[in-house]
Structures are given as structure tokens and as C-alpha cells.
């Protein structure tokens, strides 16, 4: 009898229906940045106040910085712990979408700014102590943490910390400005939403298998991690939005998003921020009645799917 080192994957007999659903939906949202005519926003970009222009460029370089970790290492390390081949395949799809989003952030910078401004924006991100600290903390977890710790780190980055940067283009979009640039963010959000929801679902499956003491210890570890990352992100936001008058609104949006990260892990939200505390300008063009069962719901001409949290 032949010794078996490996077996074929039978996709007709998936163990988890969520894997099947996620795979199908992820393949429906593959996109290409160059199909969005961001250059048509350049005239409007040049008319924005100088601090806003600076913030917008820094937003996209910061997103590129953080997304690079996910593209190269974060999702790859989570995939190491995949229980089934189908789960690994879904994570492959999420990694590909992360790569597309990462490319799109550079694409926006190229279309809006001069080569010198692009270089300056990336220098700003590379030299930011808060971005460096965030990536250092998360990368240590990806390299040394256990399967559930890695998923918890991934969820707060994808579900919450990215939104420090997402706020600016979405806020401008709520005012009817920079609509093509915001379209890039909305397309990226489809992938980041799944990258929070799907690992969060897998986290909950693993968490339920732990004993009570192990659950308490892990929850305590997550609270400490999230507190550290949030404090660091507050400093990043204050620097990023300096001079725009948007700092407090961006902070509220970040806290709201951290609550979503907790919910994706199956825990109650920690902060009082809800969709009711989000700046109405943001809500007008972007978020409509975002409740705990939903992730985001866009109500505009380029509406996205309504993301139901995976139960």
C-alpha cells in the first residue's frame, strides 16, 4: 500500500459552511485600483486647505505602512494555524485582497501628489514613532503569539486601527468631496471588513474550547493589548490630524471601531461610542444606522454590500 504524505482537498465536503460562504463572497469583491479614476480628484485636492492635503497624503502612506505588515506577515502567520484546507484558502484570498489594498494606497498618492510629495509622505510614515510602535507590537504577536492571540491582534488592526486613516477620505466624501479617492477606501473596506469578521469568527470557535481560567486570562491579555494599542493610536491620530480640526471626530470613530473589534471577538464593546456619536457629516455620505449586527452600510451611488456579522 502506498504511504500517504498528503491528501487531495475535497471542496464538495466543506466542514464549515462559513468557509464556503466566505470564499464565494471574497471572490466577488476582487478589484483593481487603476479602474478608479482618482486623478480626476486632483484639481479638488489642490483646492483643499494645506493641513487637510497634508493629512490626506499622510493617511495613505500610513495605511500603506500598516497594510504592508498584513500583506507580508500578518495573514500568513494566521494561516499557519488554519485547521482546514478551506480555512487556509479563505485566508489566501484575504491576503490577496490585502495586497490589492496595499497597492491602491500608493496608487492614490501617485495620482494626487508630486513625486517629491509622495516620497515625503512615505518618509513621514516610516519615521513615525507611533506607526513603528504599532507594527512592532503586532508583529511580535504574529511571530510569537498563539493562534488566538494572533487572531485578536489581526482583528483590532483590520477592524479598528486602519480606521484612523479611513476617516479622512470618508469624512471628505460625506461632504461630497474627493469621491473617487473615497471609492478606493470603500473598496478596501470590503476586504478589511472580512479580515476582521472572519478571523473573529474563528477566534470565537477556539475561545469556546478553552477552560474558564484560560478564557479569563486570554480576555485580560486582550484588554491589555487593546489598551496599549489604543493609547498609541490616540497619539498617532493627534499627530495625523493636527491643524484640520478633525481630531476629536477621528478619535470617536476609532473608539467606535475598537468596539467593533471587541464584537468580532464575541465580547461587549468597551467604549461609549456608537453610530449615534459619529459625526453626522461622516454618516450622511457613508454610514447609515450602523448597528451591532452590521459592519458597515453605505448609502450612496456606489453602495457596498451590507456586512452581517458572522454568528
Q: Distance between CA atoms of 58 and 60, rounded to whole angstroms?
A: 5
Catalytic residue among 5, 6, 96, 105: 105
- Considering Cα of 279, then 282, then 284, then 286, what sign does the dihedral take? negative
Cα distance between residue 310 and residue 247, in whole Å: 32
Q: Distance between CA atoms of 307 and 198, rounded to whole angstroms?
A: 11
Q: Are 122 and 64 in contact (CB under 8 A)?
A: yes
CB 300 within 8 A of CB 285: yes
- Contact status, residue 184 vs residue 267, Cβ threshold 8 Å: no
Instruction: Classify 294 as helix, strand or coil.
Output: strand
Which single residue is written with the C-alpha cell 500583506?
71
Which residues, 6 or more positions from 200, have their beta carbon under 8 angstroms from its beta carbon? 151, 155, 159, 261, 264, 265, 266, 310
105 as an active site residue: the answer is: yes
d(CA 252, CA 263): 17
Q: Strands of the chain (E only): list them.
A: none
Query: CA 285 from chain center: how many Å?
Result: 20
d(CA 249, CA 292): 20
Number of H helices, E strands in the chain: 13, 0
Active-site residue set = 105
Amino acid at each position: 500500500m502506498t504511504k500517504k504524505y498528503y491528501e487531495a482537498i475535497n471542496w464538495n465536503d466543506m466542514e464549515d459552511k462559513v468557509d464556503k460562504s466566505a470564499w464565494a463572497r471574497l471572490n466577488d469583491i476582487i478589484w483593481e485600483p487603476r479602474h478608479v479614476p482618482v486623478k480626476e480628484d486632483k484639481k479638488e485636492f489642490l483646492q483643499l486647505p494645506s493641513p487637510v492635503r497634508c493629512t490626506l497624503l499622510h493617511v495613505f502612506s500610513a495605511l500603506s505602512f500598516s497594510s504592508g505588515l498584513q500583506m507580508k506577515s500578518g495573514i500568513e502567520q494566521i494561516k499557519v494555524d488554519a485547521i482546514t484546507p478551506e480555512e487556509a484558502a479563505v485566508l489566501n484570498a484575504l491576503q490577496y485582497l490585502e495586497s490589492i489594498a496595499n497597492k491602491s494606497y500608493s496608487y492614490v498618492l501617485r495620482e494626487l501628489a508630486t513625486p517629491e510629495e509622495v516620497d515625503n509622505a512615505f518618509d513621514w510614515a516610516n519615521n513615525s514613532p507611533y506607526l513603528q510602535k504599532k507594527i512592532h507590537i503586532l508583529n511580535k504577536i504574529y511571530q510569537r503569539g498563539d493562534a488566538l492571540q494572533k487572531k485578536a491582534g489581526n482583528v483590532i488592526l483590520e477592524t479598528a486601527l486602519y480606521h484612523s486613516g479611513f476617516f479622512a477620505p470618508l469624512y471628505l466624501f460625506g461632504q461630497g468631496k474627493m469621491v473617487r479617492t473615497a471609492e478606493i477606501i470603500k473598496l478596501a473596506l470590503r476586504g478589511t471588513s472580512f479580515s476582521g469578521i472572519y478571523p473573529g469568527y474563528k477566534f470565537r470557535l477556539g475561545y469556546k474550547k478553552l477552560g474558564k481560567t484560560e478564557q479569563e486570562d486570554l480576555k485580560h491579555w486582550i484588554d491589555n493589548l487593546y489598551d496599549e494599542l489604543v493609547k498609541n493610536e490616540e497619539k498617532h491620530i493627534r499627530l495625523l490630524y493636527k491643524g484640520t480640526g478633525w481630531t476629536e471626530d477621528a478619535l470617536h470613530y476609532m473608539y467606535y471601531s475598537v468596539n467593533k473589534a471587541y464584537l468580532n471577538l464575541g465580547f461587549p464593546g468597551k467604549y461609549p461610542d456608537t453610530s449615534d456619536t459619529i459625526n453626522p457629516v461622516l454618516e450622511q455620505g457613508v454610514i447609515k444606522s450602523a448597528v451591532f449586527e452590521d459592519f458597515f452600510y453605505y448609502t450612496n451611488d456606489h453602495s457596498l454590500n451590507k456586512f452581517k456579522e458572522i454568528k
